[in-house]
Amino acid sequence: MRNPRTITDLPLEVLDIIFSNLRNLRDKLRLAQVDEYLGKAFSYHSRSDFKKFSPKIHFPVRLYRVLLANCGPSIVEFSCGSDTWSDLLAKSIAKHCSNLESVNISASLRNSHSLQFFLLNLANSLISVELKLNDSCQSPRILNAVAELKHLKKFLYEGYIDRGVNQLCKLVDLEELQLVYQGRGYRCRAVNLLQICGNMTNLRCLTRCPIVRS
């Protein structure tokens, strides 16, 4: 007696049509997580849809992890606010998104530690980083991590300026640097731009904007 055929016996082209007829991303990821082959079919269906990845608030992280496990190599840009940041999500991105080149992240004190390790784990691929840190965020450890991104070409930073900014002198291949100071009543520490940028022979754009909030 012949074994009954299942959905996993269908070719990718047919599964592509099935995924196209599902209502939303949640339904697609629920199907993709059932079987490894269905995960590959979801990747085939998605193609470059997730080249730019930005998680939405209230969307289950467990389903995003399914997306990253199957489509991670196609993701080159990642943007995330402090309200959508997840340590588990960050670990999955670092594990699966080997071609990630650009990140735009808003961070709070709650996620500053995981952000540090997130950046270090992607040190070999990142060429553009934009960070916005709120007043309570510990910037030294994060800026120390940024300083280890040897391939970085563009760095835009908004937050409290402290001693950690001096570590940016290690970014000798940087082409664009923007430092925006934001603090509630705190004095901006003196920044020696000549010392920081002295070895950046490729630097073409430098911006420093002090903004103090009352």
54-70: pLDDT as tens digits = 999 999 999 999 999 99
Domain residue spans in the chain?
52-213
Which two structure tokens, joined as six digits, stand for 205? Answer: 């754009």
Q: Which residues, 6 or more positions from 111, have their beta carbon under 8 angstroms from its beta carbon?
A: 82, 85, 87
Q: Does domain 52-213 have CATH number 3.40.50.300?
A: no
Which run of H or of E encompasses 130? strand 128-133
Instruction: Give the predicted TM-score (pTM) of the model.
Output: 0.90
Cα 127 from Cα 171, distance rounded (Å): 11
pLDDT digits (tens, 9 = 90+) for 136-185: 676 788 999 999 999 999 999 998 887 788 899 999 999 999 998 876 65
